[in-house]
Amino acid sequence: MFRRRWSSVSFAPVFAAATTGLRALILPMVVAVVPLLVASSIRAGTVETIRGKFEGEIAFQPDAVKVGDTQIAFEDILYLHADPSSDRPPCPNLVRLKNGEVWAGQIVSGSSKKIDVRCDWYGQKSFDLDSISALEFVPRRPAPAGTKLRTLYREQHQPLPGDLMWIDEDSLGVDSPLGSVTIKREGLVRYLLADRPLFSPVGDSDEVGLIDGNVFRGRLRTKAGQLGLEHEIGGRATFPADTVCYVVRHNPTMIELSSLASKVMKTGEGTLDKGKQAAVSHPLIAAASGTRFIRAWRVEPKINIRYALPKRDGRRVFCRATFEPIRGARGDTRIKLLVGRQTVLDRTLSATDRPQPIDVRIPEGDELIIDVDFGALLRFPCGLLMQDAHLILVK
């Protein structure tokens, strides 16, 4: 892996040989140049293009990204993922929007119609309550199964259903079945407002995820040591390279599976019919193996998911993803990819298997079928994480 270590460079021999006047000229130059070189490099990471994946130290350059010794045009990038820094504390609150964005910062105030959030990058902004899927008062805590809409979840008390009435810095009001209730914000976890799809497709926008929990969408452009964003609401912002966790580019040659129409059909009967599909989207938390992802599905046997394939227009189609056993798995999981009756992939994951990347050509057909079943070793739990699954269309 390509790594620069600036601390290993010594200027002592130069300074020892220089006169006092020469020192006065050289030292300001060293002080001015070295921070710029360091700022242009972020952590080790992975960049994916149509040609494949590149790993190494990542540096932002004007309209390009350098990965190790390889320079890649920014327009060619599909995914960029950098190892997150652990020295930046999370923002206190998150506002999750239905369009897939996450505004991290401080929920300042709110009413039955609007929520005001203060963000480091864009200052204070207002959002219609109808555009919000969830308010999170404790960041980065996975939601439990069986959560209900229009419900306030608390750490030490039972969930409280009701409509949100107002929010201030210390408390909030809920119109509950027991009447109007005022509750202190201390100890609150989240308030759910609306269902949202597993993942909101990027569509015609780019997406950037920052290490403080913010997820913004708009037009991205790389600069020297920075990433620039043109946002529809916030306007222009510039993010230093070391704050960037991941990037998903809008690219007509790449289609995320989350953007395709899908139909889930469970298979099997009786006690083994346990199949379910759940969204996992947390690039700051590693999977069991230590690998990281931008989006993933936790899929358990027995389940059958069908995706409507896009029009080809003479192009070849490939499916890329990474399969990994779920954390705590004990049994085998068998996964098959099919188009019609034609099997294009048949693989079994044991509980101890490492993540397995796939890149398979998809033949002509109307549907891509993902069938997840039990393997030979039948133990619970079992299942897999299907990470960053997408289609590539090439001529």
Q: Using one digit for the tens of pLDDT, what is the confidence trace for 254-274?
A: 999 888 888 888 766 554 555
Most confident of the following: 9-23, 128-142, 214-228? 214-228
Q: In the chain, what percentage of residues exceed pLDDT 70?
A: 79
Q: Which residues of 119-132 are buried (b: 16+ CB within 10 A; e: fewer)?
A: bebbeebebebeeb
SS (H, E, C) the chain: CCCCCHHHCCCHHHHHHCCHHHHHHHHHHHHHHHHHHHHCEEEEEEEEECCEEEEEEEEEECCEEEECCEEEEHHHCCEEEECCCCCCCCCCEEEEECCCCEEEEEEEEEECCEEEEEECCCEEEEEEHHHEEEEECCCCCCCCCCCCCCEEEECCCCCEECEEEEECCCEEEEEECCEEEEEECCCEEEEECCCCCCCCCCCCCEEEEECCCCEEEEEEEEECCEEEEEECCCEEEEEEHHHEEEEECCCCCEEEHHHCCEEEEECCCHHHCCCEEEEECCCCCCCCCCCCCCCEEEEECCEEEEEECCCCCCCEEEEEEEEEECCCCCCCEEEEEEECCEEEEEEEECCCCCCEEEEEEECCCCEEEEEEEECCCCCCCCCEEEEEEEEEEEC
**252: pLDDT strictly greater than 60:** yes
Q: Which of 17-21, 72-76, 113-117, 379-383 has the lowest mean pLDDT?
A: 17-21
Mean of the pLDDT values across residues 239-264? 90
Higher pLDDT, 278 or 202: 202
Find tokens 């220089």 and name the residue: 18
pLDDT of residue 274: 55
Output the average pLDDT for the chain. 84
Cα three-residue angle 55-58-59, rounded to 5 degrees: 155
Name the CATH topology of 254-394: Jelly Rolls (2.60.120)
Q: What is the pLDDT of residues 120-143, one digit of tens each?
A: 999 999 999 999 999 999 876 766
pLDDT for 345 equals 98
Q: Which residues pair with 246 in a beta bridge?
A: 81, 209
- pLDDT the model gives residue 294: 87
- Dump pLDDT digits (tens) for 303-343: 999 999 999 999 999 999 999 999 899 999 999 999 999 99
Give the contacts of 28 (CB within 8 A, at least 6 positions apart). none
The per-residue pLDDT for range 352-368, each reduced to its tens digit, is 999 999 999 999 999 99
pTM of the model: 0.83
- Contacts with 271 (C-beta within 8 Å, 6 or more apart), sequence order: none
Q: What token pair was written down for 155?
A: 């750490």
Cis peptide before 114 (omega within 30 of 0): no
Domain ranges for the chain, please list them. Answer: 40-250, 254-394
Q: Could you give the CA distance from residue 302 to residue 371 in angstroms, rounded to a whole number?
A: 8
269-312 confidence digits (pLDDT tens): 554 555 666 666 655 555 566 677 888 888 889 999 999 999 99
Nearest to 242 by CA among 101, 53, 59, 67: 59
For 179-200, write each residue's pLDDT tens digit: 999 999 999 999 999 876 556 7
Give the phi and the psi of residue 75 in degrees, each rounded to 5. -65, -20
Nearest to 350 by CA among 370, 330, 336: 330
The mean pLDDT value for 148-168 works out to 93
Cα gap 237→123, rounded to integer Å: 11
In this predicted structure, what is the pLDDT of residue 34? Answer: 32
